[in-house]
């Protein structure tokens, strides 16, 4: 497949609300494959289609939590088409989040610890599952992308401005 260019802040496309996928077809499956290749090439664990400039509600995630006998991450990519959060827990958790569209910038973000999510797979089958831990955080982060929301929108204005200044300085130096 192909590695696609990742859209980075301040590109206004990252603020677009993505449209639902009408039919899970070969074009969508090709997009999923390209997004997966792109996510791996960028050493990410999640990617929304809008991050590669496609305004569709498509997300790929692979936490790569397990390692094989040689110590390499076991890749088990998952595609979520038209993902939607059905419910969230009252319990909250905090993770130090980063984003491929805001390279090398991280901040602690508080989100619900668990969420129930509904989506379609690449075969068009409907799924609904309760997610927790890092997978719940990652899913909420990627669904936020589908809604034009970035992780820096969940931190204070001061922290957000500091992260964006650091990114600008990094770009200028590099």
Of the listed 22, 84, 108, 142, which one is catalytic? Answer: 142
Half-sphere exposure of 85 (CA within 13 A, CB side): 22
Task: For residue 97, indicate whether it is catalytic.
Answer: no
C-alpha distances in angstroms, 67 versus 1, 38, 71, 166? Answer: 24, 21, 5, 33
Q: Tell me the C-alpha distance between 13 and 154, whole Å.
A: 19
DSSP code at position 56: B
Q: Could you give the residue ranges of the DSSP H alpha helices within 1-121?
A: 26-41
Active-site residue list = 142
């Amino acid at each position: 497949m192909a590695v696609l260019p990742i859209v980075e802040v301040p590109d206004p496309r990252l603020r677009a609300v993505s449209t639902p996928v009408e039919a899970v077809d070969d074009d969508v499956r090709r997009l999923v494959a390209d997004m997966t290749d792109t996510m791996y090439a960028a050493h990410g664990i999640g990617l929304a289609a809008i991050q590669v400039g496609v305004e569709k509600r498509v997300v790929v995630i692979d936490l790569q939590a397990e390692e094989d006998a040689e110590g390499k991450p076991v890749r088990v990519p998952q595609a979520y088409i038209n993902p939607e959060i059905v419910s969230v827990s009252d319990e909250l958790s905090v993770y130090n989040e980063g984003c491929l569209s805001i390279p090398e910038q991280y901040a602690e973000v508080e989100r619900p610890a668990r969420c129930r999510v509904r989506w379609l797979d690449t075969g068009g089958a409907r799924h609904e599952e309760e997610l927790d831990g890092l997978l719940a955080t990652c899913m909420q982060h990627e669904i936020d992308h589908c809604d034009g929301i970035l992780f820096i929108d969940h931190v204070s204005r001061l922290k957000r401005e500091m992260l964006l200044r650091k990114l600008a300085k990094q770009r200028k130096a590099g």
